[in-house]
Structure 1
Amino acid sequence: MEQGPIGIFDSGYGGLTVLREIVKVLPHHDFLYLGDNARTPYGNRSFKTIYEYTLESVKYLLNEGCPLIILACNTASAKALRTIQQRDLPGLAPDRRVLGVIRPTAEVIGQYSQTGHVGVLGTSGTVNSESYLLEIKKQSPELKVFQQACPMWVPLVENGEHDSEGADYFVEKYLRELFSQSEKIDTLLLACTHYPLLIEKIMTRIPAGITVLNQGEIVAPSLEDYLNRHPEISDFCLKNHQLRFLTTDETENFNKKAKTFFGQSILSEFVHL
């Protein structure tokens, strides 16, 4: 295995919010971001389709020399990661690794709750997979987890409507439905990488004292810890401060929207999977 960049995959733009936090923690590393914008969103697609799309993207990043790939997409992590890790990767590249965003989050969420009641806001695909229910139960079996699908949030963010009055309606709607399940919820997990763009609206519509977790801020230090514990992977991660951005759709539109998620201007390249 030769040295290469760390691959970051997402179905579209949302993974850029995770990459933004990772770059803060690991500024010297090289990263290769791939957004499958031509086929986004993944949230309402079948397990089979999401697995096939994710595997195609993983194969592309492996061919680009990535020793480590992070599935920054919660839906892909929920519906494709385990199969890729257990069935595909041993035959494709047994010396490389593919990780997701669900387990690192599940490992720490219990540290933030005093009531033992936590809420998970995610896409329909993530919620229906019950991946967070299973992972959190493994790590903190005493916690009571309440899930709420928010199918309109990703389209609103993707179309630049996250500051609109229409977004106000759907933020209130899904939060109301979540808290109707339990008034004791004191910790909210934004289990989709698009949702940090709605955090200001969310904060103004929840009771005071509730902790809202941005996944990127959890995944970034978790990745740093993983690399420290696994020199057999870390040694093959390039450290030249370089970032590349790939999209399966039109680059001009990707560059324009990506700034909202990543916080700075970028130049992307088109790829066909």
Structure 2
Amino acid sequence: MAITKVTEKESNAQEQEKLSPECKELLSSLPKEKGQRTPYLFLYQGFWCQPKEIQAIISVQKHYKAEDTDLIFATIPNSGTTWLKALSFAIVNRRHYHHSQKSHPLLTSNPHELVPFLEYKLFANNQIPDISSFPRPPLLATHMPLGAMHDSVRGSSSKLVYLARNPFDTFVSIYHFLCKIRPKSLGPFLLEEAFDMYCRGVMGFGPYWEHMLGYWYESLRSPHKVLFLKYEEMKENTSFELKKMAEFLGFPFSIQEEKDGVVEGIAKMCSFEHLKDLEVNKKGKGAIADFLV
């Protein structure tokens, strides 16, 4: 059977078919650059996104109204997102699911399912979910810069946890991830080209520094509202950082829990070494080996 080669023009047309007329009209007015996994990236509200991401973000901005109990976990792609999701779920739900429990949701479900992205899951494909029906407190995730979040996020008592990673390590992780998933129709992704784009900020939800600094400055202004964590410090002293995050989220570890090794138990269960070996994390879009990290 003959294999039909998809050209860049055809790939772009396929991408456009999935967009609403309003989004298509908006894209025609935005600056654009060659994309890493789609034909183009577009500059929307100061950051670079794929077309489908922009459509979903607009829906988030229109329809998502943060409530006081919402807990939001933010990262730039490939900076420890999956790890942060796993840790946050285990912390908040530890009274329902002990870390040693064989039926723990983190052993049977991918962290991206348990802590869904606003723009990739909940508000994607023209969906408008009823987050008020979610278990309390709702655990939500995003790659969106702080400035793109709805005013209700800053105006409510909802809390944000941001995880930052060394920019060079983030680039290396992004590059290898994109090389795995980049459509062949776009041709090879040269390291020099990728590094140039990254340094210019032309990357998913970039520029990196603007994304990171937005959350960092807000954590200084409102430390009760935004907790700024560093990936490298989390790796070096996971237990200490876990206790800091639990305290901030309103789920502090008790002295007895610390004596019983609950903090260390959660850290071990949520480690990359453990998560990547689970069958639920080995395949599909949620494969930890690809998605993380």
Q: TM-score, normalised by structure 2?
A: 0.31
Higher strand share: 1
